[in-house]
Amino acid sequence: MKIEKQHIQQFQTVQEYIRTAKNKAYKAVNTTLIDLYWNIGAFVHNKIQTSEWGKSVVQELSNYISENEPDSKGFSAQNIWRMKQFYETYCDNEILSPLVREISWTNNLLILSKTTDDREKEFYLQLAIKEKYSSRELERQIDSGLFERSVTDSKKLSAVLREIHPEAESAFRDRYMLDFLSLPKHHSEKDFQKAIVQNLKQFINEFGKDFAFVGEEYRLQVGNKDFYIDLLFYHRELQCLVAFDLKITDFKPEYMGKMEFYLEALDNDVKKEHEKPSVGVILCKSHDSMVVQYALNRSISPTLIAQYETQLIDKKLLEQKLDEFYRLEEPRVEYVTLNKRV
């Protein structure tokens, strides 16, 4: 039976009601569960602080729950200790304690066990909330050192991009981890493009779930000639088209002219009236910061240059770079603070 177009739109409204209700129900259940683990953690913490309980009592509690609440799962002695640790980690932190109620218990455990300080915890809590990561996706981002990479990033954005799209500062990064592409050591740009399309879900997870795929080898007709953009996306937050030019070599200044041409064609012939100016991403194997800076200084288009890695960077090396970054930042922060006092 064929459904009339006007009815489809009306039915989609009802469908949206259902999805909204499901999301609210899930959030309510999740919040209740986190509150339960928080309260148990607080209770056990207080009993141990006052020396009323020792380790054996926690095991007895676990056995008691198992016998008297047989339908309740996840209350092993080990998990109860985790609830205690969970409470102790966040109980005095007014910034982080509300955030833990917005993600799943599994994701909370990942952040609790795999991060070292409050800055890192807040980063992944905010990220998990924004991107709605599954536990598998979140674990991959933590293991790939996303926090360390983001903090030490020196984003290569043109001045025009910063002006037109201020949100681009947080929407893009300087370096992306594309280890899931399983590219051979020697590969072509065509291989690179095909691998991304074949692993599109992971690619969008890495770049951010606000990206919506429009097409590959997207055709632009200018005059009597055809031109093709490697990959074209739409970014929901920025409300614009995003053109990707894929390069398997170091960045070269001449890449900028090609991207400016693409963006001009997109804005003139493809962009809709309500959309903002298109953005270009030149994704390279590597880049020289000084060459990039010179190229961007005179750029008249909203373009950014990023690099990609096909193998995970050693986490210890990333942590070392982060420590160096913090050591460099501290004297500068102290200097600014002293100047303000003066």
pLDDT digits (tens, 9 = 90+) for 190-232: 999 999 999 999 999 999 989 999 999 999 999 999 999 999 9
pTM: 0.74
What tokens were used for 16? 């949206």
| Phi, psi torsion values for 116, nearest 5 degrees | -110, -30
d(CA 211, CA 232): 10
Sign of the torsion formed by the C-alpha atoms of 129, 133, 139 and 144: negative
Q: What pLDDT shows up at residue 148? A: 86
| Phi, psi torsion values for 31, nearest 5 degrees | -60, -45
Chain centroid to Cα 68, Å, comes to 42
SS3 state at 81: helix
What tokens were used for 56? 């054996």
d(CA 78, CA 81): 5
d(CA 298, CA 278): 18
For residue 247, CA distances in Å to 129, 150, 308 come to: 32, 22, 10
What tokens were used for 324? 């160096």
Question: Looking at 41-184, which runs of residues are DSSP E strands?
Answer: 156-157, 175-177
Residue 174 one-letter amino acid? D
For residue 312, CA distances in Å to 107, 174, 222, 257 come to: 21, 15, 40, 32
d(CA 51, CA 54): 7
Q: Which residues pair with 286 in a beta bridge?
A: 250
Chain centroid to Cα 191, Å, comes to 25
Q: Yes or no: say if 217 and 229 are a contact pair by the CB < 8 Å rule.
A: yes
Residue 202 one-letter amino acid? Q
C-alpha closest to that of 35 among 105, 89, 95, 132: 105
d(CA 80, CA 65): 11
Which helix (H) or strand (E) segment holds residue 308: the answer is strand 303-309
Query: Where are the domain boundaries for CATH 3.40.1350.10 in the chain?
Result: 153-311
Q: 153-311: what CATH class?
A: alpha beta
What tokens were used for 61? 């509690």
Q: What pLDDT shows up at residue 335? A: 37
d(CA 328, CA 158): 25
Which residues does the chain have with pLDDT short of 50? 332-342
Q: What pLDDT shows up at residue 266? A: 97
